[in-house]
Structure 1
Amino acid sequence: PDGRLLAAASGRRILLYHIDSRDLTAQFDCDRNIRDIAFSPDGRVLASADGAGRLALWDVAVSGESAVWNEPATVRALAVSPDGGTVASAAGYLRQGRMEDVAHITLRDRRTGAIRHRLEGHERAVSSVDYSPDGKLLASTGNDWTVRLWNPESGELLRVLYRHGRAGDRVVFSRDGTRLAAIFPGIVKVWDTGTWSLAGNLEVDPSESRWHSPGLEFGPEGRFLYSGGGDSRLRKWELASGKQVAVLDVHSNNVRDLRIDPDGRWLIS
């Protein structure tokens, strides 16, 4: 969160790098392939989730595991609340002779592991969750083609914001909380969070969204949105005009994630 460290997951390993020196500072070894990772706002704890439903909290300072929780299904996405007190995990699939969708979001107390709420409403697996910067909202999307808004304090479903003809891959709030974006095959939708009116339709090559959770990130100043996905390219969008203003063809395979450091110096993919 302070822009000093970069966390990356590769297979069963989590790697921590110092951004300025590019040095590897720590490595965490896990039992299963990692599906998602998320820092706490103070940067002291890194949460991880694997394909077996195992959630772990890692102490960044001592490079050790500090807590482990288990979900009965694959966890596809994580988010830590802005106050650092809650970990939200999005459930994916449960294997019981055949693959079955598990469509809930679990909110756990970060310090005790106690379940505060289980948010139910999605009809199929949830693929992405994100807290608003003030922590008053939690957005989610998944294989039921919807974007949903929740009150994380009460666990109440506030509204179904959007239904698309295909599965949603990612939702993300802007850093000032005034915009929410969601990416679907062929399109990025942007909403004004003050009125929940549609603020933008960004047309995307469908191949960019064909993989689970393509990258989607607002720039720190809120003027631009960055995306990446199955066509190996990174795209920069101007929100005011809805136009694509830059394309970077720097990868040889699909882009699974991207981040921008707090100062806007680095785009990492």
Structure 2
Amino acid sequence: MGGVSPSPPVPLPVLRADCENCFALCCVALPFAKSNDFAVDKPAGTPCKNLRQDFGCGIHTALRDKGFQGCTVFDCFGAGQQVSQVTFGGRDWRRHPGTARRMYDVFPVMRQLHELLFYITEALTLPAAAPVHPDLRRALTETETWTRADAQALADLDIGALRQDINTLLLKTSELVRAKVPGRKKNHRGADLMGARLSGADLRGANLRGAYLIAADLSRADLRWADLIGADFRDADLRGADLRAAVFLTQPQLNAARGNQSTHLPPTLTHPTHWP
């Protein structure tokens, strides 16, 4: 991967799911277990019972009502169309069944690559992180190059090692951004805050990396410049919360939470359709 000129930040639309150009890989490749998120069990590599022949979802407009809330939360960061149209050149697993197993194996790797691209791209927009921008650009080039690799190379990629290297840069980015916030910042990294009562809390510049915020009350909380990478927001109350400058917030995190039109979001993210 050496000797490649740095790439510009990846356009965010490339890092959003385009289901029309994907062969429903999330509906086939991934497993899910019967739970509050899914109405049935499904093993990896088996098409969902709701999948149509044209790769569309037969209950797309009623997923939550039918017990498939998990489908409305998941986002592939654009990995689905990349695997379908680039890695496998538009050959779908139905007409070319010989590609199926490798395609299913590559999809989770590509999703991680695209998630990393999302974080790196965001980090490159943050002026406070300027000292690490050169390293971030190099990481962007390497990661983006991997997304164009063939299926065998992707299958052999040590994605864990790549994540670890990039996470070091993201940690530095977080520290630089949060250092600009005046006052003492809360450190809740990896904390168990399930069901915590944090309504109206001042969490500006807080470290919430990997925190468990399941069903936490964060209504009207100020989360600007808080590091939210990996934070679990399932059923968290974000009504009226201020997330406008939150660091490393993703659409899947918002999709898993409860909010409303008074929830302030960064301009690159959108209010989930199931929010009132």
Q: TM-score, normalised by structure 2?
A: 0.28
User: Hey, which of these two has a bigger chunk of strand by percent?
Assistant: 1
User: Hey, which of these two has a bigger chunk of helix by percent?
Assistant: 2
Larger Rg: 2
Between the two structures, name the one with larger relative contact order (CA 8 Å, sep ≥ 6): 2
Q: TM-score, normalised by structure 1?
A: 0.28
